Each structure stands twice: as structure tokens, then as C-alpha cells.
Amino acid sequence: MAAPMLRGCCLGRHWALACIDGGSRHGRGAATGFTSSGKRGQSFVAQQPHITAQKSRKGEHKWEAVVGLEIHAQIASNSKLFSGSQVHFAAPPNSLVSFFDASLPGTLPVLNRRCVEAAVMTGLALNCHINKKSLFDRKHYFYADLPAGYQITQQRLPIAVNGSLAYSVCVGKRWRQVITKTVRIKQIQLEQDSGKSLHDELRSQTLIDLNRAEGQLRVDANISVHHPGEPLGVRTEVKNLNSARFLARAIDYEIQRQINELENGCEILNETRSFDYKLGCTVPMRDKEGKQDYRFMPEPNLPPLLLYDTASLPAGADPQQVINIDQIREQLPELPSETREKLIQQYGMLPEHSFALLNEVGLLEFFQNVIKETRAEPKKVTSWVLNIFLGFLKQQNLAVNESPVTPSALAELLNLLDRKVISSSAAKQVFEELWRGKGKTPSQIVSERKLELMQDAEALERVCHAVMEGHPQVVMDMKRGNPRAINKLIGLVRKATHSRADPTVIKEILEKQLSS
């Protein structure tokens, strides 16, 4: 089995306060036991707590909820953590199983270099201290998807410790106020993934797939509630949450469930629960009172994992036989927080717009490509990408790379708009035509549909004069200072010109003729 997984844990008692949905939340999470399954996965467990203040005891006290998140993330690798078996999603069951994966006697683990490098890079991205010496341990428990009877992990001395992740929360009116929060990461460890249990209810049997399990990410949430200043409450663990939405729903439900239980004089059991997404509630799986001792012990078949930096690198060392932390640090890509800050500084972008560009896969690259090819102001490009382009994508449930409108086409359209060749309303008509994917350029569409703005000033003045003569009452209202009158006249002129006149120019002509 031996799947590579990264697992990270958060520290307790030092969680930042976060405001979510108007409530006061902060948290702290004690490191919890972890389970991982699958094959070549690296399990990254980051426990992130938050505390929610709730009214209780008839308004007498408030509750604090402590939440620790244990995040398991699979490493993108071609082979498993401790064997050469390949990794392919949705491969036929047990088609990618080596002798070691099947735990045959005499087989030994061989550590995958790619997984170690990925763990180091993750640790650096999360501001962790990278241990130059880390150890592997055996975690013993019996379950059918673990044929060896133990799991190889890093309990005592993991590869990375004491990290932090800063994140921003948009709050306030229209979400324009940004508050920065920090989550502390207790540790990141490489961990073997177990197999996957396939339950056949029709035949009342369970089959085991030793290829690998799970998806790319899953989270276990440890949750408890208590009154401020009092000892921590009994925690429950909600297992195997595989989306951020389900995670939030499970945490919110479990916090309120525990508060209700305690306020009704009941006790909270130290148990494992699962989240039923259809019912929107957590349900018991098993209690933790009688769980066995995992009997952690050093892994005898794996020596200590030694890493180096440039200063400690042995002279004449073979680059293929050692891992240089500083070299991996140089390969670290630009992190999202850095990218958002650059967008704000370089383009004067609002913080919430920087978040939107990064939250949609491929949208930032699309935006940057448009910027390269257009003379339009960045603010205008941002508006079109986030409002028009993204709106069309969401209407048809398309990814950015499935868009029928290319960055070059949008850039050409914005150039026409910037040069005042077309109006904003005409530009939207052109975009709709581009979205139909008929292979025409914006310029061709403008020419065929005669959408160019009127360039003949004298002709436009004659149209304005005719409109004013045909609507004397509106003109009278305009003279009396009615702000709606000018807008009505502008609309009438645009209708007469088939929306080919610039509203700003129309307004200037109307005001000039009115004062003459």
C-alpha cells in the first residue's frame, strides 16, 4: 500500500480570533490522532481551530468552540511513498500493488525522493521549521485495509514543525474590509496511506483495494465547546470531510449540537462521527473510550531522514543522493498572498477583486493575458473579466479553459471600447456574439452589425436638435432642473441613433443646445 500523504497538525491554545458570518470565532486545537488511507499519498495535516461565541445559559454566559483541523493531502507523484508501484486515479482494483504494498514477508520500504521534496516545499510554503533529521514510526492497529497491521508515519520527529498560515477574510459592507488572520501549524509529516474498503451491502461483504484510497484532499475536524475560563470540553472527531462546504457545515452543526446537549443537561461523548451531507448533520460512528493503544515504535526498516542546506551540504555529495532545503526554497512558486499583494499594488485593484481572480482556476492567467494585449485601463479590464466574462462562465457552468472567448479577443474588444470606436452597450453586444463562437473577430462583428459610434459631430447635433424639438415638455423639465429629464433625452437620442452615439457626447451637445 504505502501511499504518500502529507499530514499537518495545529497547536492548541493559541488560535487567532476570526469573524465569520457575524459571529466571533477563534480556536485552538490539540494535536489529535490521525488516520490516513490510500496508497502513495502524503498526508498533510494542518489543524486550524476557530471558536464561535454563542448565547447560552439564558444569556448568562457565552460558549467557545475549539476546532482543530487535521488535513490529509495526497502528493502529486508518479509512484507510491514506499514502493515503485505506479499511481493512477480510478485504476482497476488491486492492479497497482507491489509485494511491499501487499505486506508480503521480507519486503522492505524504499522512500520516494519526490515525496520528501514535496513535503519540504509544503513546509517552506507554510513557514515551518524544516527538521534536518526526521524519523519514521510504526503506528499499530488492526484493520482489513492495512495488511501489515501497522502504518508508517512520523509521530515523534516529523519533517516540518511550527509553521503558520496567514489568510485574509473580507468583511464589512460589500466585503471591502480585509482582516488578516493566522493559523498555527503544529507539524507536517509524511505518512503511508492505507487501502480502501469497498462495502458490498447486497452480498454483505467488504472488499479491499490496495491501489490507494481517497481523493486528493480530506479533513478530520476535532470539535469541543466550553465556557471561557473553564476547562476544555470533551471533543468529538468528524471524519473524512472532502469539501470546504461540507467542512463548514459539519463544524457549524457539531458546535450547535454540543451546545444544545450541554444546555439540556446531557454529556458529550468522546466519539468519532461522520457528516451526512444529505441530512446536514453529524452521526456517531464509534466511541473512542475503548480504542487500542497504537503502540508507536521506531520504524526499523527506515533510517533517519537527513536533509541539508547549502551550509551543511557535505563536500562532493551526489546531488541525486541528498536533498538541499535551500535549493527547494529557490524553486518555491509565488504564493497566493504574494500574488494578491502584487495585483493590489500594480493595478490599484480592490482586495476582493484580487481574491476573485485567484479563486477561479485559470482566471488570473486569463486576466494577465488580456492586460498584455490591451491599452484599456486595468480597472476596466478587471471589471470586464470579473463581471462580464466570469458571469458568462458561471451561467453555463464552464471552466476558464472552456471559454469560447480568448484573451486576445477580449483585449481587441476592450481596445475598440478604449478608442471610443464603440459604446459600452455595443461592446456587450459584441461580447455576446463572440461567446457564440462563430470565429469572427470583434472588429468584424462591429463592422457587420454597424455598431460603430457616430463620428460625425454635426449629424449628431442635428439628431439632438430634432429630439429636443419633438419633446418640448421634457426640455422644459430639463430647464427646471429635473435630473431625469436629461437622461430621458439621452435615451431618446441613443434610440434614434440605434445606440451608436456616446452618451457623454450626447449630454454635452444637449446641454450646449439648451444654454444657447
Quote the pLDDT of residue 171: 79
> Kindly report the CA angle at 367 between 362 and 370, in degrees rounded to 5?
125
Given a cut of 70, whether residue 446 has pLDDT beyond it is yes
Quote the pLDDT of residue 174: 65
Q: How far apart are CA 497 and CA 113, in angstroms?
A: 69
Q: How far apart are CA 322 and CA 336, in angstroms?
A: 29
Quote the pLDDT of residue 46: 45
Quote the pLDDT of residue 50: 46
Note the pLDDT tens digit of each residue in 109-130: 999 999 999 999 999 999 999 9
Place of cell 485574509: 168
Quote the pLDDT of residue 47: 43
Quote the pLDDT of residue 4: 63
Q: Mean pLDDT over residues 484-498, rounded? A: 86
Bridge partners of 7, per DSSP, are 72, 189
More confident residue, 250 or 458: 250
Query: Helices 457-470 and 472-479 meet at what angle, rounded to 10?
Result: 100
More confident residue, 516 or 445: 445
Place of cell 497491521: 149
- C-alpha cell recorded at residue 264: 439540556
The widest CA-to-CA distance across the chain, in whole angstroms, is 101
- Domains of the chain, with CATH numbers? 64-287 (no CATH), 336-449 (no CATH), 457-515 (1.10.10.410)
pTM: 0.75
Quote the pLDDT of residue 251: 97
Report the length, in residues, of the chain.
516
